[in-house]
């Protein structure tokens, strides 16, 4: 992947990407970097991801992308990532959390624990059997979600 400087080699000021050109059709985009930035996750999701070649990965710094590459090479096995990078388990988890946040994901996107899933099933069963109202089920699920975050 090509490297783009973040600082001016002459004065050290912050550089801003001002022109992007398609190598196939030679369409050029000029102006604010905000117009060229990756769309928010909900916009890419609404389009079904079409046209967003890198999606949320485009938001990552080069260091975060290198970490993701290592994580993928390690097939997500944290002990292997520790060995490959020579860092501790907590450091691997912290870097992974930083990548997750940079990609616009949140802890609520994580799978529920076994206990939380069991409680969700019980609430659904109570609702199906008519032991609780839909409003009560909704309140219990919201309470459960708040307790697992």
Higher pLDDT, 93 or 17: 93
Q: What is the distance between the alpha carbons of residues 2 and 23, in angstroms, rounded to a whole number?
A: 14
Q: Are residues 75 and 100 in the same domain?
A: yes
Q: Are residues 60 and 103 in the same domain?
A: yes
Higher pLDDT, 89 or 117: 89
| 13: in domain | no
Q: What is the distance between the alpha carbons of residues 99 and 103, in angstroms, rounded to a whole number?
A: 6
| CATH number for the domain harbouring residue 82 | 1.10.10
Q: Are residues 67 and 127 in the same domain?
A: no
Q: What is the mean pLDDT of residues 39-48?
A: 50
| 137: in domain | yes
Domain that holds residue 142: 114-148
Q: Considering its fold, how many domains does the chain have in total?
A: 2
Q: Are residues 62 and 123 in the same domain?
A: no
Average pLDDT, the chain: 78
| 11: in domain | no
pTM over 0.85: no
Q: What is the mean pLDDT of residues 3-28?
A: 78
């Amino acid at each position: 992947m090509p490297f783009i400087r973040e600082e001016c080699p002459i004065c050290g000021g912050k550089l801003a990407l001002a022109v992007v050109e398609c190598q196939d059709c030679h369409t050029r985009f000029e102006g604010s970097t905000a117009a060229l930035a990756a769309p928010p996750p909900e916009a890419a999701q609404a389009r079904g991801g079409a046209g967003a070649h890198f999606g949320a990965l485009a938001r990552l710094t080069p260091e975060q992308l290198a970490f993701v590459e290592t994580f993928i090479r390690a097939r997500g096995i944290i002990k292997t990532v520790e060995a490959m990078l020579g860092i501790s388990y907590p450091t691997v988890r912290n870097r992974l959390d930083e990548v997750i946040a940079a990609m616009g994901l949140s802890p609520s996107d994580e799978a529920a624990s076994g206990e939380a899933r069991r409680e969700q099933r019980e609430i659904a069963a109570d609702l199906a059997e008519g032991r609780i109202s839909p409003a009560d089920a909704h309140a219990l699920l919201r309470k459960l979600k708040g307790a697992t975050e």
